[in-house]
Amino acid sequence: MTIAREACLAQDRDDPLAFARERFELPPGVIYLDGNSLGALPKSVQPRMEDAIRREWGRDLIASWNTAGWYTAPGRAGERLARLLGAKPGEVTITDSISVNLFKLLVAAARMRPDRREILAEAGNFPSDNHIVESVARLLGLEPRFVPAGEIASAVTRDTAVATLSHVNYRTAEMQDMAAVTAAIHAAGALVVWDLAHSSGAVELDLDGSGADFAVGCGYKYLNGGPGSPSHVFVAERHQAAFDQPLQGWFGHADPFRFEDGFAKAPGIRAALCSTPPILSLLAFEAALDAFDGIAMRDVAAKGRALCDLFIALADEKLARFGVTLATPRDGSRRGNHVSLRHPEAFGIVRALIARGIVGDFRAPDAMRFGFAPLYIRFVDIFDAVAAMEEVIATGAWRELAPVEAGAVT
Protein backbone atom coordinates (compact mmCIF):
# COMPACT_ATOMS: atom_id res chain seq x y z
CA MET A 1 0.00 0.00 0.00
CA THR A 2 1.34 3.41 -0.95
CA ILE A 3 2.12 5.67 2.02
CA ALA A 4 0.75 9.20 1.62
CA ARG A 5 2.33 12.35 3.03
CA GLU A 6 -1.03 13.31 4.55
CA ALA A 7 -0.99 10.11 6.59
CA CYS A 8 2.38 11.15 8.04
CA LEU A 9 1.02 14.60 8.89
CA ALA A 10 -1.88 12.88 10.67
CA GLN A 11 0.58 10.85 12.73
CA ASP A 12 2.29 14.08 13.74
CA ARG A 13 -1.02 15.60 14.83
CA ASP A 14 -1.65 12.56 17.05
CA ASP A 15 1.92 12.37 18.39
CA PRO A 16 1.94 12.66 22.22
CA LEU A 17 5.57 13.84 22.09
CA ALA A 18 4.98 16.58 19.50
CA PHE A 19 5.37 19.28 22.18
CA ALA A 20 8.99 18.24 22.80
CA ARG A 21 10.09 19.58 19.40
CA GLU A 22 9.53 23.10 20.70
CA ARG A 23 12.27 22.49 23.26
CA PHE A 24 14.95 22.50 20.53
CA GLU A 25 16.67 25.04 18.27
CA LEU A 26 16.31 23.49 14.82
CA PRO A 27 17.67 25.27 11.73
CA PRO A 28 14.92 26.18 9.26
CA GLY A 29 14.80 24.16 6.08
CA VAL A 30 16.84 21.30 7.52
CA ILE A 31 15.68 17.76 8.28
CA TYR A 32 18.24 16.61 10.83
CA LEU A 33 18.63 12.82 10.80
CA ASP A 34 22.06 12.67 12.44
CA GLY A 35 21.10 12.97 16.10
CA ASN A 36 22.70 9.57 16.61
CA SER A 37 26.04 11.33 16.00
CA LEU A 38 25.35 14.76 17.51
CA GLY A 39 22.04 15.73 19.05
CA ALA A 40 20.28 19.00 18.28
CA LEU A 41 20.59 22.02 20.58
CA PRO A 42 18.02 22.18 23.38
CA LYS A 43 16.75 25.71 24.02
CA SER A 44 17.54 25.33 27.72
CA VAL A 45 21.30 25.14 27.10
CA GLN A 46 22.15 28.62 25.83
CA PRO A 47 20.74 30.63 28.78
CA ARG A 48 22.33 28.17 31.20
CA MET A 49 25.71 28.58 29.54
CA GLU A 50 25.41 32.37 29.46
CA ASP A 51 24.72 32.38 33.19
CA ALA A 52 27.57 29.96 33.88
CA ILE A 53 30.02 32.09 31.90
CA ARG A 54 28.93 35.61 32.83
CA ARG A 55 27.88 35.19 36.46
CA GLU A 56 29.33 31.96 37.83
CA TRP A 57 32.73 32.16 36.13
CA GLY A 58 32.93 35.84 35.16
CA ARG A 59 31.70 37.39 38.41
CA ASP A 60 31.87 34.79 41.15
CA LEU A 61 35.02 33.05 39.92
CA ILE A 62 36.33 30.25 42.13
CA ALA A 63 33.53 30.68 44.66
CA SER A 64 31.21 29.00 42.17
CA TRP A 65 32.67 25.59 42.99
CA ASN A 66 30.55 25.93 46.13
CA THR A 67 27.97 28.67 45.54
CA ALA A 68 26.94 27.43 42.08
CA GLY A 69 27.31 23.74 42.87
CA TRP A 70 30.10 23.00 40.40
CA TYR A 71 31.65 20.51 42.77
CA THR A 72 28.50 18.41 43.02
CA ALA A 73 27.56 18.70 39.33
CA PRO A 74 28.77 15.20 38.22
CA GLY A 75 26.59 13.44 40.75
CA ARG A 76 23.68 15.86 40.43
CA ALA A 77 23.48 15.38 36.66
CA GLY A 78 23.92 11.64 37.17
CA GLU A 79 20.90 11.57 39.47
CA ARG A 80 18.78 13.23 36.78
CA LEU A 81 20.00 10.85 34.12
CA ALA A 82 19.51 7.70 36.19
CA ARG A 83 15.75 7.58 35.60
CA LEU A 84 16.31 7.54 31.83
CA LEU A 85 18.60 4.52 32.22
CA GLY A 86 16.53 2.46 34.62
CA ALA A 87 19.10 2.96 37.37
CA LYS A 88 18.75 3.73 41.06
CA PRO A 89 19.90 6.98 42.67
CA GLY A 90 23.60 6.80 43.44
CA GLU A 91 24.49 4.52 40.51
CA VAL A 92 25.25 7.06 37.76
CA THR A 93 27.73 9.91 37.44
CA ILE A 94 28.90 12.14 34.58
CA THR A 95 32.60 12.31 33.75
CA ASP A 96 35.31 11.90 31.12
CA SER A 97 34.74 10.24 27.71
CA ILE A 98 33.31 6.83 26.78
CA SER A 99 36.75 5.46 26.00
CA VAL A 100 38.23 6.64 29.30
CA ASN A 101 35.28 5.31 31.26
CA LEU A 102 35.33 1.99 29.41
CA PHE A 103 39.00 1.66 30.36
CA LYS A 104 38.16 2.29 34.01
CA LEU A 105 35.31 -0.21 34.06
CA LEU A 106 37.15 -3.00 32.24
CA VAL A 107 40.12 -2.76 34.58
CA ALA A 108 37.87 -2.61 37.64
CA ALA A 109 35.84 -5.62 36.46
CA ALA A 110 38.99 -7.64 35.70
CA ARG A 111 40.35 -6.85 39.17
CA MET A 112 37.15 -8.33 40.61
CA ARG A 113 37.89 -11.63 38.79
CA PRO A 114 41.67 -11.95 39.36
CA ASP A 115 41.87 -15.68 38.60
CA ARG A 116 40.39 -15.32 35.09
CA ARG A 117 42.51 -14.55 32.06
CA GLU A 118 40.19 -13.39 29.29
CA ILE A 119 38.29 -10.31 28.13
CA LEU A 120 35.44 -11.25 25.79
CA ALA A 121 34.38 -8.47 23.42
CA GLU A 122 32.14 -7.76 20.46
CA ALA A 123 33.73 -8.19 17.03
CA GLY A 124 32.66 -5.28 14.83
CA ASN A 125 31.93 -2.98 17.76
CA PHE A 126 32.79 0.70 17.50
CA PRO A 127 36.56 0.55 16.89
CA SER A 128 37.51 2.74 19.86
CA ASP A 129 35.88 0.26 22.24
CA ASN A 130 37.98 -2.60 20.94
CA HIS A 131 41.13 -0.47 20.96
CA ILE A 132 40.50 -0.01 24.68
CA VAL A 133 39.87 -3.75 25.12
CA GLU A 134 43.22 -4.54 23.52
CA SER A 135 45.01 -1.95 25.65
CA VAL A 136 43.48 -3.22 28.89
CA ALA A 137 44.37 -6.79 27.93
CA ARG A 138 48.03 -5.82 27.36
CA LEU A 139 48.13 -3.86 30.60
CA LEU A 140 46.75 -6.70 32.72
CA GLY A 141 48.25 -9.63 30.84
CA LEU A 142 44.84 -10.88 29.72
CA GLU A 143 43.78 -12.45 26.44
CA PRO A 144 41.25 -10.51 24.34
CA ARG A 145 38.77 -12.60 22.34
CA PHE A 146 36.33 -11.09 19.85
CA VAL A 147 33.10 -12.70 18.69
CA PRO A 148 29.92 -11.29 17.08
CA ALA A 149 27.56 -9.63 19.54
CA GLY A 150 24.93 -12.33 19.10
CA GLU A 151 27.47 -14.97 20.17
CA ILE A 152 28.68 -13.31 23.38
CA ALA A 153 26.19 -15.14 25.58
CA SER A 154 27.26 -18.57 24.32
CA ALA A 155 30.98 -17.74 24.04
CA VAL A 156 31.57 -16.76 27.67
CA THR A 157 33.58 -19.36 29.60
CA ARG A 158 34.89 -19.98 33.11
CA ASP A 159 38.07 -18.18 32.07
CA THR A 160 36.22 -14.97 31.08
CA ALA A 161 36.69 -12.18 33.60
CA VAL A 162 34.57 -9.59 31.83
CA ALA A 163 32.56 -9.31 28.62
CA THR A 164 31.80 -6.04 26.87
CA LEU A 165 29.48 -5.18 24.00
CA SER A 166 27.20 -2.46 22.70
CA HIS A 167 23.52 -2.61 23.53
CA VAL A 168 22.75 -1.07 20.09
CA ASN A 169 25.26 -1.55 17.27
CA TYR A 170 26.54 1.71 15.80
CA ARG A 171 26.34 0.49 12.20
CA THR A 172 23.25 -1.68 11.99
CA ALA A 173 21.23 -0.54 15.04
CA GLU A 174 20.81 -4.19 16.05
CA MET A 175 19.83 -4.27 19.73
CA GLN A 176 20.84 -7.00 22.14
CA ASP A 177 18.60 -8.50 24.82
CA MET A 178 20.38 -6.98 27.82
CA ALA A 179 18.69 -9.14 30.46
CA ALA A 180 19.27 -12.43 28.64
CA VAL A 181 22.88 -11.71 27.68
CA THR A 182 23.70 -10.45 31.18
CA ALA A 183 22.16 -13.57 32.75
CA ALA A 184 24.25 -15.85 30.50
CA ILE A 185 27.44 -13.97 31.37
CA HIS A 186 26.65 -14.15 35.07
CA ALA A 187 25.91 -17.88 34.80
CA ALA A 188 29.54 -18.35 33.81
CA GLY A 189 30.69 -16.20 36.74
CA ALA A 190 31.83 -13.26 34.60
CA LEU A 191 30.91 -9.57 34.69
CA VAL A 192 29.60 -7.39 31.87
CA VAL A 193 30.22 -3.80 30.74
CA TRP A 194 27.53 -2.44 28.40
CA ASP A 195 28.16 0.40 25.92
CA LEU A 196 25.00 2.53 25.73
CA ALA A 197 26.27 5.04 23.16
CA HIS A 198 23.26 4.50 20.88
CA SER A 199 20.83 3.59 23.67
CA SER A 200 20.86 6.36 26.28
CA GLY A 201 18.01 8.76 25.55
CA ALA A 202 16.80 6.65 22.60
CA VAL A 203 15.42 3.36 23.88
CA GLU A 204 13.90 2.20 27.13
CA LEU A 205 16.55 0.82 29.48
CA ASP A 206 16.32 -1.08 32.75
CA LEU A 207 19.90 -1.42 33.93
CA ASP A 208 18.96 -2.56 37.41
CA GLY A 209 16.16 -4.87 36.29
CA SER A 210 18.45 -6.41 33.68
CA GLY A 211 21.12 -7.15 36.27
CA ALA A 212 23.78 -5.04 34.51
CA ASP A 213 27.08 -4.70 36.36
CA PHE A 214 28.61 -1.69 34.63
CA ALA A 215 27.76 0.61 31.71
CA VAL A 216 29.11 3.61 29.83
CA GLY A 217 27.09 5.99 27.70
CA CYS A 218 27.33 9.01 25.47
CA GLY A 219 26.17 12.53 26.30
CA TYR A 220 26.24 14.12 22.86
CA LYS A 221 24.01 11.83 20.81
CA TYR A 222 20.37 11.27 21.81
CA LEU A 223 20.90 13.11 25.12
CA ASN A 224 21.80 16.30 23.19
CA GLY A 225 24.56 17.43 25.56
CA GLY A 226 26.66 19.12 22.87
CA PRO A 227 29.90 18.30 21.05
CA GLY A 228 32.39 16.62 23.36
CA SER A 229 29.79 16.31 26.10
CA PRO A 230 31.05 14.12 28.95
CA SER A 231 30.11 10.48 29.17
CA HIS A 232 28.13 8.75 31.89
CA VAL A 233 29.11 5.81 34.05
CA PHE A 234 26.85 3.26 35.72
CA VAL A 235 28.17 1.08 38.53
CA ALA A 236 25.59 -1.21 40.12
CA GLU A 237 25.21 -0.49 43.82
CA ARG A 238 26.18 -4.06 44.73
CA HIS A 239 29.63 -3.58 43.15
CA GLN A 240 30.50 -0.15 44.50
CA ALA A 241 32.31 -1.32 47.62
CA ALA A 242 34.63 -3.55 45.56
CA PHE A 243 34.95 -1.10 42.65
CA ASP A 244 38.67 -0.42 42.15
CA GLN A 245 39.16 1.69 39.05
CA PRO A 246 42.69 2.44 37.84
CA LEU A 247 42.57 6.24 37.38
CA GLN A 248 42.80 7.41 40.96
CA GLY A 249 42.34 11.16 40.90
CA TRP A 250 41.46 13.69 43.52
CA PHE A 251 37.76 13.94 42.60
CA GLY A 252 37.50 10.23 43.38
CA HIS A 253 39.13 10.71 46.78
CA ALA A 254 37.04 10.34 49.92
CA ASP A 255 38.19 13.75 51.19
CA PRO A 256 39.88 15.54 48.28
CA PHE A 257 40.51 18.83 50.06
CA ARG A 258 42.71 17.27 52.73
CA PHE A 259 45.32 16.86 50.00
CA GLU A 260 46.73 13.68 51.50
CA ASP A 261 49.54 11.77 49.83
CA GLY A 262 47.73 8.44 50.17
CA PHE A 263 44.57 7.64 48.23
CA ALA A 264 41.33 6.86 50.05
CA LYS A 265 38.53 5.88 47.68
CA ALA A 266 35.35 7.96 47.78
CA PRO A 267 32.20 6.10 48.73
CA GLY A 268 29.60 5.14 46.17
CA ILE A 269 29.52 6.24 42.55
CA ARG A 270 31.89 9.16 43.22
CA ALA A 271 34.73 6.62 43.07
CA ALA A 272 34.24 6.54 39.28
CA LEU A 273 35.53 10.12 39.03
CA CYS A 274 39.14 11.02 38.39
CA SER A 275 40.28 14.60 37.94
CA THR A 276 38.55 17.99 37.74
CA PRO A 277 35.56 17.58 35.41
CA PRO A 278 34.97 19.85 32.36
CA ILE A 279 32.47 22.05 34.14
CA LEU A 280 31.12 24.06 31.21
CA SER A 281 30.44 20.92 29.16
CA LEU A 282 28.96 19.23 32.19
CA LEU A 283 26.62 22.14 32.89
CA ALA A 284 25.52 22.16 29.24
CA PHE A 285 24.75 18.44 29.49
CA GLU A 286 22.78 18.93 32.70
CA ALA A 287 20.72 21.71 31.11
CA ALA A 288 20.09 19.56 28.02
CA LEU A 289 18.34 16.99 30.21
CA ASP A 290 15.53 19.54 30.63
CA ALA A 291 14.32 18.37 27.21
CA PHE A 292 13.31 15.05 28.82
CA ASP A 293 11.34 16.60 31.69
CA GLY A 294 7.92 14.99 32.03
CA ILE A 295 8.67 12.44 29.31
CA ALA A 296 8.71 8.67 29.86
CA MET A 297 11.34 6.66 28.05
CA ARG A 298 8.74 4.07 27.05
CA ASP A 299 7.05 6.81 24.99
CA VAL A 300 10.37 7.87 23.46
CA ALA A 301 11.13 4.26 22.54
CA ALA A 302 7.66 3.71 21.07
CA LYS A 303 7.91 6.78 18.84
CA GLY A 304 11.44 5.87 17.81
CA ARG A 305 10.27 2.45 16.72
CA ALA A 306 7.39 3.96 14.75
CA LEU A 307 9.70 6.44 13.00
CA CYS A 308 12.08 3.66 11.99
CA ASP A 309 9.19 1.45 10.83
CA LEU A 310 7.94 4.27 8.61
CA PHE A 311 11.38 4.92 7.17
CA ILE A 312 11.89 1.23 6.35
CA ALA A 313 8.44 0.96 4.74
CA LEU A 314 9.09 4.04 2.59
CA ALA A 315 12.54 2.75 1.63
CA ASP A 316 10.94 -0.50 0.50
CA GLU A 317 8.34 1.41 -1.49
CA LYS A 318 10.52 4.09 -3.09
CA LEU A 319 14.18 3.04 -2.97
CA ALA A 320 14.45 -0.73 -3.33
CA ARG A 321 14.08 -0.51 -7.11
CA PHE A 322 17.36 1.46 -7.21
CA GLY A 323 19.30 -1.30 -5.45
CA VAL A 324 19.04 0.21 -1.97
CA THR A 325 19.11 -2.56 0.65
CA LEU A 326 18.39 -2.60 4.38
CA ALA A 327 21.27 -3.22 6.82
CA THR A 328 19.13 -2.88 9.96
CA PRO A 329 16.76 -5.41 11.59
CA ARG A 330 13.15 -5.04 10.49
CA ASP A 331 11.95 -6.29 13.86
CA GLY A 332 11.56 -3.16 15.96
CA SER A 333 12.19 -5.08 19.19
CA ARG A 334 15.71 -5.85 17.92
CA ARG A 335 16.52 -2.34 16.72
CA GLY A 336 17.61 0.99 18.15
CA ASN A 337 16.60 4.39 16.76
CA HIS A 338 18.66 4.56 13.59
CA VAL A 339 18.42 2.80 10.23
CA SER A 340 21.27 1.95 7.87
CA LEU A 341 20.74 1.52 4.14
CA ARG A 342 23.30 0.21 1.68
CA HIS A 343 24.01 1.37 -1.87
CA PRO A 344 27.21 1.39 -3.98
CA GLU A 345 26.95 5.20 -4.31
CA ALA A 346 26.18 5.77 -0.62
CA PHE A 347 28.90 8.40 -0.13
CA GLY A 348 27.68 10.57 -2.99
CA ILE A 349 24.01 10.11 -2.13
CA VAL A 350 24.55 11.30 1.44
CA ARG A 351 26.52 14.33 0.18
CA ALA A 352 23.72 15.20 -2.25
CA LEU A 353 21.11 14.87 0.50
CA ILE A 354 23.09 17.15 2.82
CA ALA A 355 23.24 19.72 0.01
CA ARG A 356 19.42 19.60 0.03
CA GLY A 357 19.18 20.03 3.81
CA ILE A 358 18.62 16.34 4.61
CA VAL A 359 21.39 15.54 7.09
CA GLY A 360 22.35 11.91 7.60
CA ASP A 361 25.78 10.31 7.56
CA PHE A 362 27.95 7.80 5.69
CA ARG A 363 29.91 4.86 7.04
CA ALA A 364 32.39 3.07 4.81
CA PRO A 365 32.16 1.26 2.59
CA ASP A 366 28.53 1.66 1.47
CA ALA A 367 26.26 2.56 4.41
CA MET A 368 23.89 5.53 4.65
CA ARG A 369 22.90 5.97 8.29
CA PHE A 370 19.89 7.94 9.49
CA GLY A 371 19.08 8.60 13.14
CA PHE A 372 15.61 9.41 14.42
CA ALA A 373 15.62 11.37 17.67
CA PRO A 374 12.00 11.06 18.86
CA LEU A 375 11.94 14.37 20.73
CA TYR A 376 12.33 16.48 17.60
CA ILE A 377 11.89 14.33 14.48
CA ARG A 378 8.43 14.27 12.88
CA PHE A 379 6.80 11.59 10.76
CA VAL A 380 6.52 14.03 7.87
CA ASP A 381 10.29 14.57 8.08
CA ILE A 382 10.70 10.87 7.32
CA PHE A 383 8.43 11.08 4.30
CA ASP A 384 10.19 14.16 2.92
CA ALA A 385 13.66 12.69 3.50
CA VAL A 386 12.88 9.50 1.59
CA ALA A 387 11.23 11.48 -1.22
CA ALA A 388 14.41 13.55 -1.53
CA MET A 389 16.52 10.41 -1.57
CA GLU A 390 14.35 8.94 -4.31
CA GLU A 391 14.92 12.05 -6.42
CA VAL A 392 18.68 12.08 -5.76
CA ILE A 393 19.09 8.47 -6.81
CA ALA A 394 16.70 8.65 -9.77
CA THR A 395 18.44 11.72 -11.21
CA GLY A 396 21.99 10.69 -10.30
CA ALA A 397 22.37 14.05 -8.54
CA TRP A 398 25.48 12.96 -6.67
CA ARG A 399 27.40 13.10 -9.96
CA GLU A 400 26.96 16.89 -10.01
CA LEU A 401 29.00 17.38 -6.82
CA ALA A 402 32.68 18.22 -6.85
CA PRO A 403 34.68 15.06 -6.18
CA VAL A 404 36.13 14.61 -2.70
CA GLU A 405 37.86 11.74 -0.99
CA ALA A 406 35.33 9.29 0.42
CA GLY A 407 35.20 9.31 4.19
CA ALA A 408 32.83 9.93 7.06
CA VAL A 409 30.17 12.43 6.00
CA THR A 410 28.25 13.96 8.89
Binding site: which residues? 98-99, 126-129, 195, 198, 220, 250, 276
Residue 52 exposure: Cα atoms within 13 Å on the Cβ side: 20
> 94: which strand partners?
232
Q: Are 80 and 289 in contact (CB under 8 A)?
A: yes
Binding-site residue numbers for pyridoxal 5'-phosphate are 98-99, 126-129, 195, 198, 220, 250, 276
CA 134 to CA 282: how far, in whole Å? 29
Reference 222, options 201, 194, 196; nearest CA is: 201
Whether residue 195 lies in the annotated active site? yes
Q: Tell me 86's DSSP state.
A: T
Q: Which of 335, 369, 378, 381 is catalytic?
A: 369
Cα dihedral 270/273/278/283 (nearest 10): -30
32 with 359: CB under 8 angstroms? yes
CA atoms within 13 A on the CB side of 55: 9
* Residue 159 designated active-site: no
From the list 76, 80, 117, 126, the catalytic residue is 126
From the candidates 195, 213, 361, 381, give the one annotated as an active-site residue: 195
Q: Catalytic site residue 369?
A: yes
In the residue annotation, 126 being an active-site residue is answered as yes
Instruction: Enter the DSSP assignment of 300.
Output: H
Of 24, 32, 220, 311, which residue is the catalytic one? 220
Compute and round to an integer the Cα radius of gyration of the chain: 22
The residue type at 246:
P
The one catalytic residue among 104, 221, 270, 335:
221
> For residue 275, which phi and psi values (nearest 5 degrees)?
-105, -175
CA 250 to CA 258: how far, in whole Å?
10
43 catalytically annotated: no
Helices marked H in 289-374: 297-318, 346-355
* Three-class SS state of 348: helix
Q: Give catalytic residue positions.
A: 126, 195, 220-221, 369
